Amino acid sequence: GSQSPIILFHGASGGLGTSTAAIGSALHMAEQGHKVFYLDLEKNGYTKDVLVQDSNTTLSEVLYAIKSNRANLSLKLEAYVSNDKGVAYYAPFKTIMDFNEMKSEDVKTLLHVICNSGNYDRVIVDTDVYSDEIRDTLFELADCVVMIADGTEIGRNKLQNKLFELQNISDNKVEHLMRKTKVLYSKFGSQSNAAEMNDVQVVGYINKVKGDHRAQVVSWVSKLDVFDHIL
């Protein structure tokens, strides 16, 4: 339908630069003229290191509006949006407590509002490990799941475990889930070795980036054409 496609970035394990890839892809797509919404659902997301906040509201207010069943929810949530570098987004939660209040129903409602607003043609969701319930909801709603992995032996095992975990989410949806899951190798270095995956497509590689500042690294990553092959 007219719904915006949801692209979910998910790390096979921590510290792989999942957020770097997610924000990088958002900036890349915006640069290409797409209307991008970037939803950072991480406990310690670093949106604020890369995108400049131009609204004084955050996901904490967004969650409150959803939970209070506000009338005109979509208008309300639209008013909370920040914009920078062509990317629309919500500033991160104010506290970990707010973050922990979020339930899978809230995530569903939020994505429904964003995707049906007619304002965006790409919705990028960045998430780290969540309650199974929220994770499963995100995997279900996503049109494309980009699994971030590194090419080390340990990394490959973690990736295989993660894919196996996905297969157990729900047997009848496995094929569909595998079809929409793609692997992006990140922090690819000399020790890396790209595993040939039988059941999922490998989108490409992001080499190790030398850089002190997150904003610098993200800016470099955003210029990669690996993101053209995601959807």
Asked if pLDDT for residue 88 goes beyond 50, the answer is yes
Q: What is the pLDDT of residue 205?
A: 87
- Give the confidence band of 95 by pLDDT, cuts at 50, 70, 90: very high
pLDDT at 130 over 80: no
Q: How far is 84 from 90, CA to CA, in rounded Å?
A: 11
Q: Please check the confidence at residue 55 and state whether its pLDDT lies above 60.
A: yes
DSSP states along 44-107: T--HHHHS---SS-BHHHHHHHHHTT-TTHHHHHHHT-EEETTEEE-BPPSSHHHHHH--HHHH
Share above pLDDT 70 across residues of the chain, in percent, rounded to a whole number: 90
The whole-number pLDDT of residue 195 equals 62
pLDDT tens digits, one per residue of 174-216: 677 778 899 998 876 666 666 666 678 888 888 887 777 888 8
- Residue 90 reports pLDDT greater than 80: yes
pLDDT score at 194: 66
Categorize the per-residue pLDDT at 129 as very low, low, confident or very high, splitting at 50, 70 and 90.
Answer: low
Give the Cα separation of 151 and 205 in Å (integer).
9
Q: How far apart are CA 183 and CA 203, in angstroms?
A: 6
Q: Can you point out the beta strands (E) in the chain?
A: 6-11, 36-41, 82-84, 87-89, 122-127, 144-149, 181-188, 201-207
C-alpha 112: how far from chain center: 16
Residue 1 reports pLDDT greater than 50: no
Distance CA 62, CA 2 (A): 23
Is there a contact between 145 and 70 (Cβ–Cβ < 8 Å)? no
Q: Which domains does the chain have, with CATH numbers?
A: 6-52+108-229 (3.40.50.300)
What pLDDT is recorded for position 30? 98
Tens digits of residue pLDDT in 149-183: 887 888 888 888 888 777 776 555 667 777 889 99
What pLDDT sits at residue 106? 96
Banded model confidence at residue 128, pLDDT cuts 50, 70, 90 = confident
